[in-house]
């Protein structure tokens, strides 16, 4: 008995001694892999393969440090959505009131499921395909669906990085190219571009100079060569970052995950010093309590939680699979979730501080333009000077004075007031103008930056931040594709990764047509949301209801060294599945009641118009959703009717450093438990390790060979009392 054994230390004490067999075996000397493999069973087809998989798990690459791993998870979860989607949802759904449903759903769905994905990835040490095949072979299609969703998201997400690269290079000039409308010469006369004059300089630059957008999704318009080059650069950067797996991507994360916080901090300080910043922040955090009861607000909050934490993508599982098994993934889940929420709030503060500044500028511009109209009416005797309050000075007209004058004119000229074409110029109206997604970053925020001193510097910093935020998320997305495929099919890492990037670039040309922005909307708003919800629900069900919540909690206790809070048991078992089922139902109903559509930019009108997807686009959208979810029922049916092997029929046991590992498959369920574990199914223990009671030095080791002459290659080991192995 080793000197440092718990039993040796207390063998003279009269205490009851409890020690796991895993603790005892961990003190033995290492044994060579190939010389310590025990195969038991009749099937020859999977013996070596099962053992090789276990040994491969031991040789799996690992993070260089805990910091590198945390930064990778933060880089994946904190992305472009934190910068533009979360602030937009706050503005749309009641300001500060939106934080209530978001926090509630983050606690009851987000953190528990994020912890679940971290735990299964770290415990099983495989990508999403291997993890869900292990947890429940019939639901092994979950992993394949996760890979497909990652592919869909990666295709359009890198296009957004391409847009950011385009704006980044355009920022190295003064004045910024989107600060003024272009001048066109018509023979000897110089005129402002009509499309720009009807909209704004930043809107024109985005839709015409950057995207050169068509009027509808049906008008392809050919490739936009500028964005095609930017997309090529984006995929080259991503490919270089992930080609070596975590050995290359882990180093990139030190910059791509930390740099955005430096920029956000700089923007926050600069934003708070801007005139009108407080107006924007107060507008943001003033709660509209009636919104809290709106089901759409809760649906938006749940969708944002899924996307913010990367649930269902497979990237969380892939990153976690490179951890040591004694890593405290519970702490990781809480830390990353908090940082993600903190980043969203910080970004919202920055956005609304800057938008408050922009709203004040636009409001003052409105006052000046309408004051000129009033002066014209006074000069033409359309309005009487008696309507102008005596203290009003048109040379220094304040917003308050204009509002007072506006109300007087509206009261006196009630019958003909609409013909005057005067605007109220209310600051609240400017603040209420919500701009969604890319419009917030590439139109509203860029317009505000044109009013900054040293605007090119701030523009360069902003778009470099967007590139790094997108890169961190793309690394996680690509890892969610490459890790499970490489684990499962043993393809060469570098060749497969480069092949994925090349394939994605060519498919991504769909998004750099002149109509490409409309396809981005289709993929972003519709193609991924419903499949992700289905995936996350099935992940929860697979662990909580099929594998068993109690068994999973016991294995977490074994892995972490402490028992997770009972809170997680009830969330995984009851609350989270119920909320997600409601969310899925609401999503399906919404798709049926409200036909999907997109905001099209109409060149002749220089304005956006909401259009419904044509029939062929609807067919494409439905196909995307079906393709993303199809592996789940296909794998279930094939394995239910034994048309696809789940990789069993073998018991492979191997020893390394005194630890016994086994892989059980393809046996019928009852045969498996009776033959291998010598127990009835109801008593079958977990396939993951649990502690056994060791009653004292006089007990017989369960691994001592019996007198069976079969020797090393027979079944002479007492398998009936063999403890569960560590996988």
- Known binding-site positions for Na(+): 75, 78, 82, 340, 469, 473
Least Cα distance to 90 among 293, 269, 297 occurs for: 297
491 contacts 105 by C-beta, under 8 angstroms: no
Handedness of CA 479, 480, 485, 488 (dihedral sign): positive
Bridge partner list, 661: 654
DSSP character at residue 596: -
> Which run of H or of E encompasses 653?
strand 650-656
Contacts of 73 (CB under 8 A, 6+ apart): 316, 319, 320, 332, 336, 476
SS3 call for 271: helix
Known binding positions = 75, 78, 82, 340, 469, 473
Question: What's the CA gap between 83 and 492, in Å, rounded?
Answer: 36
Helical residues (DSSP H) of 259-384, grouped into ranges: 259-272, 277-285, 295-309, 315-320, 329-379
Neighbours of 406 (CB within 10 A): 19
Question: What's the CA gap between 672 and 685, in Å, rounded?
Answer: 12
Strands 650-656 and 607-612: unpaired
Phi/psi of residue 517, each to 5°? -60, -30
Question: What's the CA gap between 323 and 245, in Å, rounded?
Answer: 14
Asked if the bond preceding 40 is cis, omega within 30° of 0, the reply is: no
Using the structure block, give the residue that is written with the tokens 């969330």.
571
Phi/psi of residue 599, each to 5°? -90, 115
Least Cα distance to 621 among 489, 516, 707, 524 occurs for: 524
> Which run of H or of E encompasses 663?
strand 659-665
* SS (HEC) of 491-528: CCHHHHHHHHHHHHHHHHHHHHECCHHHHHHHHHHHHC
How many residues in total does the chain contain?
Answer: 727
Contacts of 324 (CB under 8 A, 6+ apart): 62
Question: What's the CA gap between 478 and 157, in Å, rounded?
Answer: 11
| DSSP E strands, 15-58 | 37-40
Give me the long-range contacts of 267-272 (CB less than 8 A, separation at least 24): 267/350, 267/354, 267/458, 267/461, 267/462, 268/346, 268/349, 268/350, 268/353, 270/452, 270/458, 271/349, 271/350, 271/353, 271/354, 271/357, 272/353
Question: What's the CA gap between 654 and 47, in Å, rounded?
Answer: 11
400 contacts 393 by C-beta, under 8 angstroms: no
The tokens for 37 are 């493999």
């Amino acid at each position: 008995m080793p000197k440092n054994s718990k039993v040796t230390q207390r063998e003279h004490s009269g205490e009851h001694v409890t020690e796991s067999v895993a603790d005892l075996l961990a003190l033995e000397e290492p044994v060579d892999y190939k010389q310590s493999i025990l195969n038991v069973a009749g099937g020859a087809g999977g013996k070596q393969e099962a053992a090789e998989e276990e040994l491969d798990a031991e040789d799996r690459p690992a993070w260089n440090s805990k910091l590198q791993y945390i930064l990778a998870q933060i880089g994946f979860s904190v992305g472009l959505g934190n910068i533009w989607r979360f602030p937009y949802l706050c503005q749309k759904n009641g300001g500060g009131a939106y934080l209530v449903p978001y926090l509630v759903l983050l606690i009851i769905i987000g953190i528990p499921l994020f912890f679940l994905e971290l735990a299964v990835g770290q415990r099983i040490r495989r990508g999403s395909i291997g993890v869900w095949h292990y947890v429940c072979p019939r639901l092994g299609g979950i992993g394949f669906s996760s890979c497909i969703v990652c592919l869909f998201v990666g295709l359009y997400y890198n296009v957004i990085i391409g847009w950011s690269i385009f704006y980044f290079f355009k920022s190295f000039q003064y004045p910024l190219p989107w600060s003024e409308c272009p001048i066109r010469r018509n023979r000897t006369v110089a005129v402002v571009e009509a499309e720009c004059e009807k909209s704004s300089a930043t809107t024109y630059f985005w839709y015409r100079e950057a995207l050169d957008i068509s009027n509808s999704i049906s008008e392809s318009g050919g490739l936009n060569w500028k964005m095609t080059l930017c997309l090529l650069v984006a995929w080259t950067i991503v490919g270089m970052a992930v080609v070596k797996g975590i050995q290359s991507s882990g180093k990139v994360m030190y910059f791509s995950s930390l740099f955005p916080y430096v920029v956000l901090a700089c923007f926050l300080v600069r934003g708070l010093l801007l005139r009108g910043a407080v107006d924007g922040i107060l507008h943001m955090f003033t709660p509209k309590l009636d919104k809290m009861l709106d089901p759409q607000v809760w649906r938006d909050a749940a969708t944002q939680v899924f996307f913010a934490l990367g649930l269902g993508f497979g990237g969380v599982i892939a990153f976690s699979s490179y951890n040591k098994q004694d890593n405290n993934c519970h702490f990781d889940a809480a830390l990353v979730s908090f940082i993600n929420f903190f980043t969203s709030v910080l970004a919202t503060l920055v956005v609304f501080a800057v938008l408050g500044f922009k709203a004040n500028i636009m409001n003052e511009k409105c006052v000046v333009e309408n004051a000129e109209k009033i002066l014209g009416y006074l000069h033409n005797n359309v309005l009487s000077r008696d309507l102008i309050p005596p203290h009003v000075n048109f040379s220094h007209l304040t917003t308050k004075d204009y509002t007072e004058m506006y109300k007087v004119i509206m009261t006196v000229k009630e019958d003909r007031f609409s013909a005057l074409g005067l605007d109220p110029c209310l600051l609240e109206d400017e603040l209420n103008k919500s701009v969604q997604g890319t419009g917030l970053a590439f139109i509203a925020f860029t317009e505000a930056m044109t009013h900054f001193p040293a605007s090119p510097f701030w523009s360069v910093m902003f778009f470099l931040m967007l590139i790094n935020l997108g890169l961190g998320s793309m690394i996680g997305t690509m890892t969610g594709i490459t890790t499970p495929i490489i684990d499962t099919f043993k393809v060469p890492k570098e060749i497969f990764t480069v092949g994925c990037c090349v394939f994605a670039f060519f498919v991504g040309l769909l998004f750099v047509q002149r109509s490409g922005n409309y396809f981005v909307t289709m993929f972003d708003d519709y193609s991924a949301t419903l499949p992700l919800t289905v995936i996350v629900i099935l992940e929860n069900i697979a662990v909580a209801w099929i594998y068993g919540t109690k068994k999973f909690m016991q294995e977490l206790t074994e892995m972490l060294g402490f028992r997770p809070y009972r809170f997680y048991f009830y969330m995984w078992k009851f609350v989270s599945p119920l909320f997600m089922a409601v969310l899925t139902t609401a999503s399906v109903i919404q798709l049926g009641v409200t036909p999907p559509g997109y905001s099209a930019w109409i060149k002749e009108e220089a304005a956006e118009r909401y259009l419904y997807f044509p029939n062929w686009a609807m067919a494409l959208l439905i196909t995307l959703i079906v393709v993303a979810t199809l592996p789940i029922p296909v794998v279930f049916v094939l394995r239910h009717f034994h048309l696809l092997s789940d990789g069993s029929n073998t018991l492979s046991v191997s020893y390394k450093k005194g630890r016994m590992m086994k892989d059980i498959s393809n046996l019928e369920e009852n045969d498996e438990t009776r033959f291998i574990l010598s127990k009835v199914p109801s008593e079958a223990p977990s396939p993951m390790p649990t502690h056994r009671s060791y009653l004292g030095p006089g007990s017989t080791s369960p691994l001592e060979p019996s007198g069976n002459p079969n020797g090393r290659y027979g079944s002479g080991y007492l398998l009936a009392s063999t403890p569960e192995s560590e996988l």
